[in-house]
């Protein structure tokens, strides 16, 4: 297409465009001599998990140098995986929701309530553990579905919806369980299926729990779905600009409900893994799961404004927290240092997110 002002046949008002034929024909938008920071911004924009991955590697390296083989061992590395298992799974669910520009404050409540349902159905009603697990997973999905309907159809802000359902699910959890804990020993004897994800296998010095493997499988699966399927692209589009997505032909309401339902299902799965991790079924467990999941997602470079970030980043975020916790504990510092550093990392991560957005707007 030419930029010459050929089309001023029918009006003298067009004359101001005549000078366009002398307009520069080079494309100013693509300067070759981009500065380094500009290039970095663009690269980070297309590779959102790069920052957390780099921080993770740097953290492992630093603690490895300080602590030597004590930290830099297959055992310690896999211990971190076991410790972040629950956070990793709930953070995957949280990532899905945050990518749609939402937030799910009820992830922890759904997780605990689902685990209690799995335990109580097995022990109170004598239902086979496998069926109880399926019921628990269904209950988690249903809780997520309720969140989804309230967000998509009643059009309440996700923060308000899940602030409410968080309280509701948690209270229901205490009322239903009557504050009763099912002891680890009983579960081990009568329904070992519930503890499946606590079991482990060894490869050399490395100890892998099934839960840690499950976490990685979930993350890889979701990463594939998000980047390689139409549904995954729709999740991003909904979070990026909901109205634009709707006008382009994305079924926004369906996508939102599916995201919240899937989030609930994944949280219920985390509830099953939680039984394996702590051995018992306790309505008071997993109290910090909400904040830990959001922390992992934010440190993982997923934008709270939606539409940006990756599930691998969120996993890296969870692992960073795990590396800091274990590393600082091995050094023997006050655990408060961990929280202090995590807090600084959160602010750092969001600053980087803002910088990436600003550079490309």
Partner 1 sequence: MTQQPVLQGRGLVKKFGKVTALQGCDFELYPGEVLAVIGDNGAGKSVMIKTLSGALQPDHGEVLLDGKPVHFNTPLEAQYAGIATVYQTLAMSPALSIADNMFMGRELRKPGWRGKYLRQLDKPAMEKFSREKLTELGLMTIQNIKQAVETLSGGQRQGIAVARAAAFGSKVIILDEPTAALGVKESRRVLELIKDVRARGIPIVLISHNMPHVFEVADRIHIHRLGRRLCVVKPGEHTMSDAVAMMTGAMEPPGETQAA
- Taking contact as CB under 8 A, which single stretch among the options 10-18, 73-81, 173-181, 312-320 is the one that binds partner 1? 10-18
Among 30, 35, 178, 189, binds partner 1 (CB under 8 A): 30
The tokens for 319 are 């692992």
Contacts of 161 (CB under 8 A, 6+ apart): 147, 150, 151, 154
Residue 104 main-chain phi, psi, to 5 deg: -120, 100
Output the smallest distance, CB 10 to partner 1, in A.
6
Q: Between 48 and 276, whose beta carbon lies closer to partner 1?
A: 48
Please tell me whether residue 203 binds partner 1 under the rule CB under 8 A: no
The CA-based dihedral angle spanning residues 220, 223, 228, 231, taken in that order and rounded to the nearest 10 degrees: 120
By CB under 8 A, tell whether 46 contacts partner 1.
yes
157 secondary structure, DSSP code: -
Report CA-CA distances (Å) from 186 to 115, 190, 194, 343. Answer: 15, 6, 11, 39
User: What torsion do the CA atoms of 71, 76, 77, 78 make, to the nearest 10 degrees?
Assistant: 180
The DSSP line for 87-99 is HHHHHHHHHHHHH
Which residues, 298 to 357, sit near partner 1 by CB under 8 A?
307-308
DSSP at 10: S
Q: How far is the CB of 30 from partner 1 (least distance, A)?
A: 6
Shortest CB 353 distance to partner 1, Å: 12
Token pair in block for residue 239: 């979070």
Residue 154 or 361 with smaller CB distance to partner 1 = 361
Main-chain dihedrals φ then ψ at residue 206, nearest 5 degrees = -80, 135
Closer Cβ to partner 1, 45 or 124, answer by number: 45
Distance CA 270, CA 197 (A): 10
Under the binding rule (CB under 8 A), the answer on residue 13 touching partner 1 is yes
**Binding-site size, partner 1 (CB under 8 A):** 44
Q: Which of 72, 240, 254, 346 binds partner 1 (CB under 8 A)?
A: 240
- Footprint of partner 1 on residues 211-230 (CB under 8 A)? 224, 228-230
Q: Yes or no: say if 28 and 19 are a contact pair by the CB < 8 Å rule.
A: no
Q: How far is the CB of 262 from partner 1 (least distance, A)?
A: 15
361 binds partner 1 (CB under 8 A): yes
How long is the chain?
Answer: 361
Output the six-digit token pair for 235: 């999740």
Reported as half-sphere exposure (CB side, CA atoms, 13 A), residue 309 has a value of: 35
* Residue 47 binds to partner 1 (criterion: CB under 8 A): no
Choosing from 176, 241, 338, 342, the residue that interacts with partner 1 (CB under 8 A) is 241
Of 13 and 69, CB closest to partner 1: 13
| Number of helical H runs and strand E runs in the chain | 14, 2
From residue 242 to residue 281, what is the string marking binding to partner 1 with x (rule CB under 8 A)? -xxxxxxxxx------------------------------
What is the nearest approach in angstroms of partner 1 to the Cβ of residue 34?
A: 11
**Site membership for partner 1, residue 32 (CB under 8 A):** no
Which residues of the shown chain bind partner 1 in the complex (CB under 8 A)? 1-3, 5, 7-8, 10-11, 13-14, 16-17, 20, 23, 27, 29-30, 42, 45-46, 224, 228-231, 233-234, 236-237, 240-241, 243-251, 307-308, 360-361
């Amino acid at each position: 297409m030419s930029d010459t002002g050929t089309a001023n046949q029918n009006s003298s008002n067009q004359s101001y465009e005549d000078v366009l034929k002398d307009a520069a024909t080079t494309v100013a938008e693509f300067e070759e001599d981009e500065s380094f920071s500009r290039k970095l911004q663009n690269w980070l924009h297309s590779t959102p998990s790069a920052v957390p991955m780099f921080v993770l590697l740097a953290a492992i390296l630093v603690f490895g140098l300080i602590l030597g083989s004590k930290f830099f061992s297959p055992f310690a590395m896999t211990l971190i995986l076991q410790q972040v298992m629950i956070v990793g799974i709930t953070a995957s669910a949280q990532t899905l929701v945050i990518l749609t520009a939402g937030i799910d404050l009820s992830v922890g409540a759904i997780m605990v309530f689902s685990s209690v349902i799995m335990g109580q159905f097995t022990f109170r009603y004598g239902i086979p553990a496998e069926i109880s697990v399926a019921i628990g997973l269904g209950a988690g999905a249903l809780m997520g579905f309720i969140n989804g309907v309230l967000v998509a159809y009643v059009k309440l802000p996700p923060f308000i919806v899940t602030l409410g359902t968080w309280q509701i699910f948690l209270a229901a959890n205490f009322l239903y369980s009557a504050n009763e804990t099912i002891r680890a020993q009983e579960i081990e004897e009568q329904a070992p299926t519930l503890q499946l994800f606590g079991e482990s296998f060894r490869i050399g010095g490395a100890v892998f729990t099934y839960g840690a493997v499950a976490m990685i499988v979930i993350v890889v699966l979701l990463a594939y779905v998000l980047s390689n399927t139409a549904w995954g692209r729709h999740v991003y589009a909904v979070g990026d600009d909901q109205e634009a997505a709707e006008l382009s032909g994305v079924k926004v309401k369906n996508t939102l409900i599916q995201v919240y339902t899937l989030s609930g299902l994944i949280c219920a799965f985390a509830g099953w893994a939680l039984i394996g991790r702590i051995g018992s079924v306790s309505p008071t467990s997993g109290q910090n799961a909400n904040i830990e999941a959001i922390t992992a997602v934010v440190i993982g470079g997923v934008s709270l404004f939606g539409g940006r970030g990756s599930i691998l980043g969120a996993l890296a975020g969870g692992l960073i927290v795990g590396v800091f916790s274990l590393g600082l504990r091995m050094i023997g510092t006050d655990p408060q240092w961990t929280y202090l550093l995590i807090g600084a990392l959160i602010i750092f991560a969001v600053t980087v997110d803002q910088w990436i957005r600003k550079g490309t707007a």
